[in-house]
Amino acid sequence: METLYFIIAVVGAFCGMEFMAWFTHKYIMHGILWYLHEDHHQPNPNTFFEKNDAFFLVYAIPSWLCIMLGIMYNYPIAVGIGFGIMAYGLVYFLVHDVLIHRRFKWFDKIQSPYFKALRKAHKIHHKNRFKEQGSCFGLLVVPRHFHKKSKKHG
């Protein structure tokens, strides 16, 4: 039974992280912490790292704490939540930094309609280089009209 709770916690945390990423992006990154996120929308071509890269700590620390404390106190749900957050962080890095922004040229050959829709939605988000009037704040859940367009032009 503990294994089932662990798996449910991993999947639940992973899915919940899409909402958390959307919320954090829209209201925190494009809000009070814009000064950290601004260089992601207005990048400096002379630097590889951005202040925006520090945001991984917002989720890495709770993930680590859930895993560590869950193991210490034998609480598999907390461990599962920690691994779900960590899995989402890994997927976020691979999708956002590798596939969308191509900061690393690892998967340049992926041309699925889903990834085309994802890239298009993110491109629309970055069309506005400033704090206000943004759109498409999520990552993995892409508005339907982007899917329809990517299938037409696929």
User: pLDDT 10s digit of each residue in the chain, 154 long?
Assistant: 789 999 999 999 999 999 999 999 999 999 999 999 888 888 888 898 999 999 989 899 999 999 999 999 999 999 999 999 999 999 999 998 888 888 888 877 777 888 888 888 888 887 766 667 666 788 888 888 776 655 665 5
Residue 128 lies in a domain: no
Interatomic CA distance for residues 8 and 78, integer angstroms = 11
Q: Which domain holds residue 79?
A: 2-108
Number of domains making up the chain? 1
Residue 81 lies in a domain: yes
Residue 129 lies in a domain: no
> Over the range 72-97, which residues count as b (16 or more CB within 10 Å of their CB) and which as e?
eeebbbbbbbbbbbbbbbeebeebbe
